[in-house]
Amino acid sequence: MKTLKGPALFLAQYIGDQPPFDNLEHIARWASKLGFKAIQVPTLDKRFFDLEQAAKSQVYCQEIQTLLAGYDLEICELSTHLQGQLVAVHPVYDSLFDGFAPPELHGDPAARQAWAVEQLKLAARASANLGLKAHATFSGSLLWPFLYPWPQRPAGLVEDGFAELAKRWRPILDAFDAAGVDLCFEIHPGEDLHDGATFERFLAAVDHHPRCCMLYDPSHLVLQQLDHLAFLDRYHPYIRMFHVKDAEFHPTAQQGVYGGYTSWVERAGRFRSLGDGQVDFKAVFSKLAQYDFDGWAVIEWECALKHPERGAAEGVKFVNEHIIQVTDRAFDDFADAGTDREANRALLGLG
């Protein structure tokens, strides 16, 4: 068994215009003082990470690693969540997702998609240059508007949607395979890959591509009312990344999983800071140890109530207390009498 690494912090929710959140060195100094050992880095803001440079320059990657090492930090993974979203966008969401792409691509879905695909391929090379084993992204969605089966979905709609999604992602998966990096889709509402059934459907559509993997975030499973522990039992061979994020779900007479268009504070299901929600993290960390997960425990702060800096500071202590230092021996080794085949055969009555 392997001991998880951590704690690490996903920077996406902390990036801003004011120190210490305005560039990589400032945020690294801040994260290091809190006790983080690694950071997971989004790749759209060049103040923090220049994806194009990292894809083509080993020197640039070494400079980033040296800077972080000065604060006893490393990059655990890169993220292209927003670019991945743009690989597949249903037209109803075109204007909403334009903001994820450069301004010159707004209003041009085909150009935006081509840019997103290239971004993912750059991320594969950048990850390889940094010596990383896994990469985080979203699948995007062509079918999300048809999630609920009313009006009745036409025969073949879902199959055609996943065939097209697989067609778009297959060259990207091949690029990650060439780079020796696992591509981890975060299982997330709003994406075509939002639960186990949709992941399995996509996996079959890409012919069980060896780089098609998962980012496990139990909070999204709680909000969908999936069994977040049984999910680990079923899908652990595909899980290569882990977001440590909490959530709670309290259905009422007024609303349930769909939320009734209420705000995050008022929803029956909402994200919470670590330890304030319903995720059974003791069991989660135990199962990850049991299944030899050797990745990072990465805190992603998304809480409807608590301040993000408080969430980060408390999160470091929470993860450190939950990481299981796995044993290198069995608890009953003291009673081991060694192996004696003749004695064993005698005990079995085999003479």
pLDDT in tens, 121-158: 999 999 999 999 999 999 999 999 999 999 999 999 99
Query: What is the separation, in whole angstroms, between the first and last Cα of the chain?
Result: 37
Question: How many other CB atoms sit within 10 Å of the CB of residue 82?
Answer: 19
Distance CA 69, CA 76 (A): 12
Binned at pLDDT 50, 70 and 90, residue 45 comes out as very high
- Locate the domains of the chain by residue range: 5-347
Residue 205: name the closest of 248, 160, 242, 144 by CA: 160
pLDDT, residue 346, reads 84
The one-letter amino acid at 288: L
Superfamily of domain 5-347: Divalent-metal-dependent TIM barrel enzymes (3.20.20.150)
pTM: 0.95
Q: Above pLDDT 90, what percent of the chain?
A: 92
Distance CA 334, CA 139 (A): 50
pLDDT tens for 308-336 read 999 999 999 999 999 999 877 766 665 66
pLDDT tens for 57-67 read 999 999 999 99
The one-letter amino acid at 234: R
